[in-house]
Amino acid sequence: MSADGGTLTTTGYIEHHLTNLAVCADSAKVDGVCTGFWTFHLDTLLVSGILGLVVFGFMALMASRATAGVPSGGQNFVEMVVGLVDQQVRDTFHGKSALVTPLAITIFVWVFVMNAMDLIPVDFLPTALQAATGNHHLPFKFVPTTDPNLTFAMSLTVFAISIVLGLKTKGFGHFMHEVFAVPFGLKLAPINLLFRIVEEIARPISLSLRLFGNMYAGEMVFILIALLGIYQLPLALPWELFHILIITLQAFVFMMLTIVYMSMAAESH
């Protein structure tokens, strides 16, 4: 556990674990805490970026060496993951798009590795980092998906891509017609528009909050278990095993829903 000025309170421990490493201009600080929009969560940005660069770099390396002959172990592994995602896309998305499969692969792999950071014991990496920097109050969240900024960034990007895909496959006229005339016909255009807006707003919010909520809650349970001292041993393992399911499932759900939204955007109602 990270010591907080010698005395450790339960609240302090939990708060410390749920605080991002934020940087901002000095003028935006209130009592030494960053406020306002122009704040960057360095931990989220760094961990997600490094994980992404490593895993996608590895995948690109394997793909560049890919042969049609007998695949190497690494190529086989990457092909297995990619093939699984591709199968889902084929089953759900019937349009033609060079973007949907890579998008789904990116989401599944990236979300999975970021979620997998949750499996490393909660105090392990923060304590190591605090020891390395010498700053024992340094907050650092190692699970980027517990930061709503990340989940919202992903869901909003997906939302934007789905709008662009809809415009591209249907054309502007057809797209606008769908916005105003579905599901009640042109006579009730305002209501149709309202429905559409609610639907379009609900999608990215539910998509991002689902991932954020699950990972945040899972992380919270890990922190609470870590507070039990010696009694955490019989509890941490089952929760860890259960969490393997959750992180995979959440990555899969995010990917699957993205594919569904893409297919809804590309197909006429």
| 206 tagged catalytic | yes
- Nearest alpha-carbon partner for 115 in 233, 257, 218: 218
Residue 154 or residue 236: which is nearer to another protein going by CB? 154
Residue 12 or residue 71: which is nearer to another protein going by CB? 71
Residue 101 or residue 214: which is nearer to another protein going by CB? 101
CA angle 35, 38, 39 (to 5 degrees): 60
Residues 174-213: x/- map of binding to another protein (CB under 8 A)?
----------------------------------------
Among 16, 78, 122, 192, binds another protein (CB under 8 A): 78
Confirm or reject binding of residue 172 to another protein (CB under 8 A). Answer: no
Among 82, 165, 207, 247, binds another protein (CB under 8 A): 82
What residue has token string 């960053």? 34
Within 106-135, the residues that bind another protein by CB under 8 A are 106, 110
Confirm or reject binding of residue 156 to another protein (CB under 8 A). Answer: yes
Write the Ramachandran bin of 88: left for phi over 0, alpha for psi from -120 to 50, otherwise beta: alpha
Q: Which of 97, 162, 214, 263 is catalytic?
A: 214
Q: Are 133 and 2 in contact (CB under 8 A)?
A: no
Residues 37-76: x/- map of binding to another protein (CB under 8 A)?
xxxxx--xx--xx--x---xx-xx-xxx-xxxx-x---x-
Among 153, 182, 235, 253, binds another protein (CB under 8 A): 153
Q: Which of 72, 76, 135, 206 is catalytic?
A: 206
- How many positions of this chain bind another protein (CB under 8 A)? 49
Whole-angstrom distance, CA of residue 15 vs CA of residue 22: 14
Q: Are 268 and 178 in contact (CB under 8 A)?
A: yes
Sign of the CA dihedral running 233, 238, 239, 243: positive
Confirm or reject binding of residue 27 to another protein (CB under 8 A). Answer: no
| 155 tagged catalytic | no
Residue 34 or residue 236: which is nearer to another protein going by CB? 34
Write the CA distances from 142 to 27, 47, 192, 205, 231, integer angstroms: 27, 7, 43, 23, 24
Q: Are 212 and 250 in contact (CB under 8 A)?
A: no
Q: Would you state the structure tokens that stand for residue 236, as one six-digit string?
A: 């941490």
Q: Are 225 and 236 in contact (CB under 8 A)?
A: yes
Q: Would you state the structure tokens that stand for residue 71, as one six-digit string?
A: 């695949």
Q: Which amino acid is at 1?
A: M
Residues that bind another protein (CB under 8 A): 20, 22, 34, 36-41, 44-45, 48-49, 52, 56-57, 59-60, 62-64, 66-69, 71, 75, 78-79, 82-83, 86, 98-99, 101-103, 105-106, 110, 147-150, 152-154, 156-157
Active site (catalytic) residues: 206, 210, 214
